[in-house]
Structure 1
Amino acid sequence: MPKLLVEKYNLRMTTQRFEVHNDRAQRLATAVSRLRTILRDARWQVTDLALTQVSILRTLEQSGSATAAELAVAEHVTPQAVAQQLKGLKERGYILTTPDPHDGRKTMISLSEPGAALLDELLVTREVVLARAIE
């Protein structure tokens, strides 16, 4: 039986490779990989946002609002990387910014109505893709 190389990613974005010798595990790994590709392609049909930008929108949906520094911590990226992603999201109207009521030096970021609508569309698309995969 051929060996399957499986990649495992950790938070430091490094990859660990290990061999899978079990046929069932090999088939599962192949199915998961295909499903991930299908989900990614479905996302691209809805939006051309980067995965990090979609993740930021989801974080804002869950938290209500956050500072850029809080988003950087939540997304495990640098504040500079978040700032770049936020710029694109603001240009598209997916986020709103307001002064922090407790600290005027900070800016609070929240999800706009178009941003919430985009997340809803992505969720519906994901559910349809998963339902088809199960059938």
Structure 2
Amino acid sequence: MDVIRLLDVRDQPLSVDEALAAVSDRGAGGTCVFVGTVREVDGGRDVTSLDYEAHPTVTDTLRTVAEKVAADVPVRALAATHRVGHLEIGDIAVVVAAAAAHRQEAFEACRRLIDDLKREVPIWKHQRFDDGGEEWVGAP
């Protein structure tokens, strides 16, 4: 059975319930979920909205990241979804979940998955601020 149960990058709203259902496992004693949302302030500046864009290799890279976490941490299940397109304040931008036999492994896998996703997966954030400014985050 594949431990990577859900990986997707989509322009539709994300569901925490979908990620939880994907990692549901009778052998798991611990499940950890991280939900990243669009915040109203970044770097002391008021954010009005943002857009995420992804490179065409995004799905392959996301799978590689998840496979490495699964190889390094004894998990029962992993899930990760990321939103692209236009998002407003409060919208869910990313959901990752991990289930493992014990809570420590679930926490470790969830943390690794979100950290590695943010560092390695080619998704870029274009933020707009209420002062008229804008910036790209994570762009090459």
TM-score clears 0.5: no
Higher helix share: 1
Higher strand share: 2
Q: TM-score interval w.r.t. the shorter chain?
A: under 0.3
Q: Which has the larger radius of gyration?
A: 1
